[in-house]
Structure 1
Amino acid sequence: MAMFELSPMITRLKRLDIATYAPFIALLLLILFSSIASEHFLMPRNITNVLRQVSYTGIIALGMTFVIIAGGIDLSVGSMVALVGVLSIMIINGVGDGWWAVAMAVSSAIALGGVFGAINGLVITRGKVASFIATLATMSIFRSMTLYISDAGEVVSQNQHFADIGGGYLWAIPYPVWIFLLLAVAYHILLKHSAFGRHVCAVGSNAKVASYSAIKVRWVYFLTFVIAGVSVGISAVLLASRLNSVSPGDAGLFYELDAIAAVVIGGTALSGGKGTIWGTVIGAIILGIINNMLNLMGISPYLQGMVKGLVILTAVLVQFKGDR
């Protein structure tokens, strides 16, 4: 009788998808290793710094999750961060001092991110250009526009309140971290508990079948790029306010790689169709801890890219094994 009762449990255990739990297990093991390898890792100041740094690329990765689940990719987000950041500071300097100017800059940054994301979406859906090619082109366009309008020089905010957004704390936790977590909750609800989220997964799984199911495939695909753009706008204004300035040549550099890496490490399939927001959150934290540990252990920063590449390859291999 006992064997009969255990058999369904054994069957369920065999059916567990390793890719679903691998990011969380990897995070736990990484935290354990890091706490042993360095006595400074678990210090509150270090943890706070890691989470703050993770939040900027993590917010972008949240939006990128929708794009990748729908079967696309966005390589322009790093350049978009620089462009939106420069424009938001120009707006705040033009409006003047005070919190009204800050509110104008923040709302403008979010709106601009949405517009630039919509441009990507229109080129891809209406122009029928592959997302890789379209966003590779806009990556170059956005960066060139940033350098041109800023005259390739650093753009500095003149507003004394602007720095409070990126540098402020609530209960000893930086504002960007709170925004990252709140946005993750909102995006999780959108992805897992709304018709739009189900449509995104359906489009990524099989666009033709989704169209036969009366899903507006091009509209859903377009909106994923708008969501990614809005996420970039939020991240850009947080980063710009943290530094109180934007360097057009360096701002957002390689952010697209970090965002894609966080999504993939979090278990979202590059082929589309499935993924989770909380997996992306875990993936972003994993990347942040890896970079932090390399610094704490005195390992050359030139090796960080190699380690990140190995982590991505491992994540993809785990996904492939889980799908077999």
Structure 2
Amino acid sequence: MSSKPFDSASPLEPIPIDASLTLVPRVRLTLTVHPANPSHTSSVDDWQLKKALLDFLRSSLAAPLSVPDGDLELRRVKDVRKRRRDEPVGHGSLVIRDLGFLKGSRGSRAAAEEEEGGEEGVRVLEEKYADWKRYLVEKMNGMDLVLGGVKFVLSAEMPVSDSFEGMRKEWEEFYAFGNRGNSRGGRQEPDTIVLRGLPSRWFAEPRVSSKPSMLVTHTIFSTFGSIRNISVADDDDFGRERDEDTDGLVSGLHCKIVVQFEKHRDFHNAMKALCGRSLEKQGSRLRADYEVSWDKDGFFRNSRSETQEKSSRMTSLASGPYRSEVPKHISRYSPERTRPKRFRE
């Protein structure tokens, strides 16, 4: 499939990548809650905090937002007395999926150009979308919250992995000043995407296994362009890294996918499509809020080096002190060094 649809897609437009999988736009913020008084030792009431934030979204923004309870996750620290003075008493995330109001608030010319697939309309919408996200972060970051007579301060930020422009700036600086990369000769540019937190079953062969399949995964991501290398593995640490209260997390739920494209252009367009979106499967109410990043460490290059190193070790062992050749002092045909017997005719 040509990469043109991904390159010119509107930031608010769903992008189908498979017969049953679609990338849907959303905005995600990471939230942390600190007490206004660092010496405060009482835990935050997560129910009151959630209600206060939902009320704020409905009543204090230029365009009111109605967010379902499930899209605002808040977790309080188990034992506040054990926290350091600079650590939060609660943390969580906010996901906003209903972004249709951004389309209706633009000029008629830009809207018409977007409906016709005009590049100018898409560019205008991208700018407006970026401005609104900055506005949302500015409104929520540093909010004062009074819960149960105690004052708290909310911090809100957008993950770097949710900003395509932010990641593009990051990799351009990395290759400009780091003087290393994965491309072979010429200008060094990234070509490998790393995805975490994807549901394993969505990349498995139906009625065969619940484990992610290399073939299915390759078929899905080849929609973005020609693939040079691909890796699929279980990602059991994904949930545990994000939340300390996941001792009973079932293994095999998430998978990590690493895709290396033949061309930087396909990598670029895939990153643009994947950033700031969730994965939705037809017939499922679940939306996967995965994490996307680009490979800075040469995943496939290092994997090949490890394989070659193991192969070299095996070769050296075979030719080292444990050689399998027959010692010279022992007869090739006799298991022991014995004197030949003579028989009379």
Q: Give the TM bin, normalised by the shorter chain.
A: under 0.3
More helix by share: 1
Structure of larger gyration radius: 2
Please, what TM-score do these two structures have when normalized by structure 1? 0.23
More strand by share: 2
**RCO (CA 8 Å, sep 6+): is it higher in 1 or 2?**
1
